[in-house]
Amino acid sequence: MFTIWGRLNSHNVKKVVWATVEAGLEWERHDIGGQFGYTPEYLAMNPNRLVPTIQDGDFTLWESNAILRYIADQHARHLWSGDTQTRAKADRWMDWQFQFADAQREAFLQMVRVPEGERDKAKVEKGAQATSAMMAILEETLASQEWLSGKDFGIADIPMGTYTHTWLTLGLDRIETPHVRAWYEKLKLRPGFKYVTIPLT
């Protein structure tokens, strides 16, 4: 059994659940972190006091994108290109996603956690500008290739796919990105994407 530890209102947990579904694994998930708190047993597996963590038999791993790479390597090779250079170009979007998460974080917290009249408009505007600037790069990429993973959907589409859902639905001012939108519409059809749409509050 493949076990996922982490509350489902977390971007990083959603990514892992989506990848697990894509890999066709039999899985279970336990709520932990955030409003659910932590147990000593969990902290023994992951001392960072963060989610997610997975257990695959007696193998334990934390760091969401490392988990995605592990899932593809161990269980779903079709989600990674066999060509090293194609794979490296795909892989970089997984690291890039953490920069995007940083750019979006403050605006996200304002929009999701703070009542409308009390929001710090400067933080929202700063996040809107920073994320639009990054999305312009994704837009240019997706104008000339169908997936971030290359010519086929793969594991590298999952991290930015998850964050793009938030970006498109958060209500921030944003640039027009027709190619990102077209890619997102295809992602919505993937098995496992439904977990991405679970509210983050």
Ligand X SMILES: N[C@@H](CCC(=O)N[C@@H](CS)C(=O)NCC(=O)O)C(=O)O
Residues that bind ligand X (CB under 6 A): 10-12, 33-34, 50-52, 63-65
Q: Which is nearer to ligand X, 11 or 142 (CB)?
A: 11
Q: Which is nearer to ligand X, 33 or 127 (CB)?
A: 33
- Asked whether the beta carbons of 133 and 39 are under 8 A apart, the reply is no
Give the whole-angstrom CA distance, residue 109 versus residue 149.
Answer: 29
CB of 32 to ligand X, least distance (A): 8
Tell me the residue type at 34: G
CB of 51 to ligand X, least distance (A): 4
- Asked whether the beta carbons of 180 and 144 are under 8 A apart, the reply is no
Contact residues for 170 (Cβ-Cβ < 8 A; gap 6+): 104, 107, 108, 111, 112
Q: What is the DSSP letter of 55?
A: E
CB of 164 to ligand X, least distance (A): 16
Q: Which is nearer to ligand X, 108 or 147 (CB)?
A: 108
Q: Which is nearer to ligand X, 27 or 36 (CB)?
A: 36
CB of 6 to ligand X, least distance (A): 7
CB of 162 to ligand X, least distance (A): 10
Q: Which is nearer to ligand X, 63 or 146 (CB)?
A: 63
81's tokens: 């290109």
Tell me the residue type at 67: I
Give the whole-angstrom CA distance, residue 30 versus residue 106.
Answer: 27
Sign of the four-CA dihedral 176, 147, 100, 192: positive
